[in-house]
Structure formats: C-alpha cells, structure tokens
Amino acid sequence: MKKLIAGLCCASLLFGAAAQLPQGYTDSGIYAAAAEYTYQNFKYELLSDGTAAITGYTGSLSKLQIPSALNGKKVTRIADSAFSGNEKLTSVTIPSGIRSIGGNAFENCVDLADITISMGVTGIGDYAFGGCESIKSIAIPNSVLDMGDFTFWGCSGLKEIVLSKSLTEIGDHLFAYCRKLKTITIPDGVESIGSGAFMECSELESVDIPDSLTTILSNSFASCKALKSITIPAKCTNVFLENHIFDDCDSLAEINVARGNSKYTSIGGAVYTIDRKTLVVFPTGKESAALPSGVTTIGNNAFYSNKALNSVTMPESVTSIGKEAFLGCTGLESITIGSGVKTIGEEAFVNCSSLKTITIPKSVTMIKSKGVGYDADFLTYTKNDDIIIRGYKSTIAQQYAKNTGITFIDIDAAKKGDVNFDGAVGMADLTRLQQYLAQWDVKADLDAAEVTGDNKLTMADLTRLQQYLANWDVKLG
C-alpha cells in the first residue's frame, strides 16, 4: 500500500508540480523529469501540499542543521535515503518543521554520532538510522507516533535511548544488533513488541515493560545474553513464548508473569499455561529443572537453546514431550524420561551435543522423527554416534534404537560398574571411565558409571570402581 501511494504521488509530481518550478530555475527538462531541484547543496522535491522534501545533500559539512525552508519552500520531510551512506556527517539537527523522516534516510552514516530530533516529527521510516554505529544516545520526541521497522538496526554503539510516549508499538527488529544498549524503558501505551525487536542486544540487562503490552512476537529478545529476568504483564496474552522469544538468552534465570494474566502463569521463574498443565518456556540461563507435579506436557521448544541445563526431573504426570523441546541443550549429558511419558516429539533432543545417555521408560509408545540421537545443520541431519538409549526389551525404545542404529542397553540386564556395557565389570570399565572423565571421545553408560549413589559422575566414582576391583569392602551404586 505504501508503494502504491508513493507511485501515485510521484506521478502527480511528474505531471503537475513539475510545471511550477521554484524561482530562479528554468524548465530545462532535467528537473522536471526527476521533480528534483537543488538549493544550497540540498536536493529537494515538491510535495502535493507545496512543501519540500529533502532528497539529497551534496555539501561537505560534518555538522549539519537541516534547513526549515529551501528557496522559500517550507521543508516538511526528509525523503527516503536522502543522506544514506554519507560518511562525512557527525552531527545532525532536525528542526520542528519536519514532519517525517523517510526510510533509510541516514542509513549507514557510520560516523554520525549526534542526532537531535525536534518536536513535530510524527513518523520515522524503516532503516532510517540503520547501521549508524557511532550514535551513542538519542531521544525520540513525544510527537513521534510511528518508528517503522529496523529503524535503529545495527546501531552497535547505541547505549541509551528515550522513546516517545506516543508510540503504540515497537517495530520488527527496531533495535536489533544494538549491542551496547544496556537498559530500556518501553513507555506506557505501547501494546506490541515486534519480531526480533531487541535481537542480539547482547549487553541488554534490563527491560521495563508497561502494563499496556498485549503482544510479544517471535525472536524479540533472542540472544540478549546479559538479560537476567523479565516480567510478562497481565494483559500480555498474545505472546508466542514457544516461538523462540528468548532463544540464546544465556543469563536469563527468571521469566515472571504478572498476576491477572488469563493465559499464563509462572512457577519458579518458568512459564506455564494458566491451568499449570503445560510448560511453555523454561529460562534459558537456568541449570536445573524440577517440574511440579500435575504438569502433563512439556511444550514445543520449552527448553530450546538452554545451554546451561544439566539436570531435568519429570514427575509421573508428564505424558508428552513436544517438538524441539530440548533442541540445542548442549550442557545436558544424561536424562531420564519420566515414567508416565507416552510421546517424545519430533526433533525433541536434536543438537544436544553433550548428551550421552537417555533413559526411556516402558510407557513411551511413540518417538517421532529424529526425536532422539540426531544433530542438525539447517536441514542436514546426522546421527549422533555418541548417544546411548537405555530402555527395556520389546519396547518402542529398543525398536527406535534398532531402526536408527543407536546403541541400546537393556536396563534389566545392565550392571552397576559396567561402563562399557559388555556385560561384565572389570578393568576395561575402569579404563573407559577414566577416559570419559578425561573427556576422551568414548561411549559410556553414565548410569552404570555412577557408582557412589550421589547421582553425580565425578572422580569419586572412578575411585569407588577402582576400590571395588581391588576387592575392597565397598558396594557399587
């Protein structure tokens, strides 16, 4: 729709306004064809209301005051790409007569450090200041109603911004890759945060979200690695938490939900559906998960990209593990699936690069495509040859292992201390455990290797196994 309107306006300029040239110009055909004129190093065109839009600048000033008028014509707009790529600009002041700043207007002005936007501006276009990596702070006046998408994308030096109190939305990727931004207050009245709005703001520590917010879209805080906690307001029910909003937020330990939210609640810093039956998202910086009794479903992407996770306890009430539920949990070395689980979803444990042992109960009746034992690089899948499935004979777990070529250990036949799962406990197991603890690339039955009974695999287990093989009066397990 914007392109259509622009095209109609352009046609109007070509056939109408071109005949009304500013004083001092002659109709040579050049200006009429482009509807663009030059005055004091500024290029401009006439708008339908008789005001001017700056379309370019040919001067060499580094500190620039945008004029309020050009050749008697009031300036009301900075057009799309007007100053894009200008490497000389270090400071720009935009006067109160300007109503809009076009898309890409100052994009990639890499040395532009100081921007003053006066009251009167109502709109700032897509990518308007994208890639202006020298800007450190900026204040958006309260007259601004809309800031488009990608407006400050890639402003890698931006540390501080004050937003207009008249905004109702934060656009898609608005502050993406603003890696120095540490804190931001989203003004009251804002109802939505767009896709990728704060993505890769790697130093962002604090976000003040208003009660007015109703919508948060996908990837909005992805890779905000310094973010430690965040609160979802009571009105915010259109929040697609399962769509990777907090991916790779490596320090995020708490996601709280304000009281009164009709769709979500928080327990122990994790988000559940209001009936407390489905885990929606678990904080990506939290190491240990003990799900409360009554939870029946681990939702799609619930633990997605949690690199810190090393321990998960599932109550018997859990019956389903969703698609990509543990994808990218690179710190997870072993996991025991809850005894009530019936379904393990598609790609549930893909890219769990440290996962060596997964124990699957008899209750599981379905393991969906690539549910266990695969790594993925885009759409290319490779089998994880290091993983071991522990389960029971004549079960889905055994059949899945057979179909995929994954090593299977029958729990009923397994012995404590049989680290190399050859059916006997001997020096070979001691060697294998020693190699595993030294981080050699070897397979080991981690449950059999844990012989001290403390549910941790450490040098203490190696010592205990060594004592057992030396006929000391010790027990395994």
**Amino acid letter for position 38:** T
Q: Which of 404, 398, 365, 402 is nearest to 381 (CA)?
A: 404
Burial of residue 77 (number of CB atoms within 10 Å: 0-12, 13-18, 19+)? buried
Q: Which of 234, 269, 230 is nearest to 246 (CA)?
A: 230
Q: How far is CA 257 from CA 52, 173, 260, 274, 280, in A?
A: 49, 24, 9, 10, 12
The span from the CA of 279 to the CA of 261, in Å, is 16
Which residues have C-beta within 8 Å of that of residue 407, sequence separation ≥ 6? 387, 388, 389, 401, 421, 443
Q: Please enumerate, as own/partner, the contacts of 61-66 that have beta carbons within 8 Å and a separation of 24 or more.
A: 61/88, 61/89, 62/88, 62/89, 62/90, 62/91, 62/111, 63/90, 63/91, 64/89, 64/91, 64/92, 64/93, 65/93, 65/95, 66/92, 66/93, 66/94, 66/95, 66/98
335 phi, psi to nearest 5 deg: -155, 140
Q: What is the pLDDT of residue 61?
A: 97
Structure tokens at 386: 């290091």
Residue 338 CB-half CA count within 13 A: 26
Q: Which helix (H) or strand (E) holds 13?
A: helix 2-15
**Beta strand extents in 40-157 (DSSP E only):** 42-46, 52-57, 63-65, 69-70, 73-78, 91-94, 100-101, 114-117, 123-124, 137-139
Pick left, alpha or beta for residue 3 (phi over 0 → left; psi -120 to 50 → alpha; otherwise beta): alpha
Q: Provide the 3-class DSSP secondary structure of residue 180.
A: coil
Burial call 425-438: b when 16+ CB within 10 Å, e when fewer? beeebbebbbbbee
Q: Which of 279, 268, 274 is nearest to 234 (CA)?
A: 274
CATH of domain 414-469: 1.10.1330.10
Q: Provide the 3-class DSSP secondary structure of residue 63.
A: strand
Q: What is the pLDDT of residue 241?
A: 64
Predicted TM-score (pTM) of this structure: 0.82
Q: Which of 176, 168, 160, 254 is nearest to 219 (CA)?
A: 176
The DSSP call for residue 186 is P
Q: What is the pLDDT of residue 383?
A: 93
Q: Which residues of the chain have pLDDT under 70?
A: 1-34, 240-243
Among the CATH numbers 3.80.10.10, 3.40.50.300, 3.90.550.10, 3.30.300.30, which is that of 287-412? 3.80.10.10
User: What are the residue boundaries of the structural domains of the chain, listed by start?
Assistant: 287-412, 414-469
How far does the chain reach from its first CA to its final CA, in angstroms?
70
Q: Provide the 3-class DSSP secondary structure of residue 309.
A: coil
Burial call 197-208: b when 16+ CB within 10 Å, e when fewer? bbbbbbebbebe
In 287-426, which ranges are continuous DSSP H helix?
396-404
Structure tokens at 248: 């790779």
Structure tokens at 305: 């990209």
Q: What is the pLDDT of residue 242?
A: 61
Domain 287-412 shares a fold with domain 414-469: no
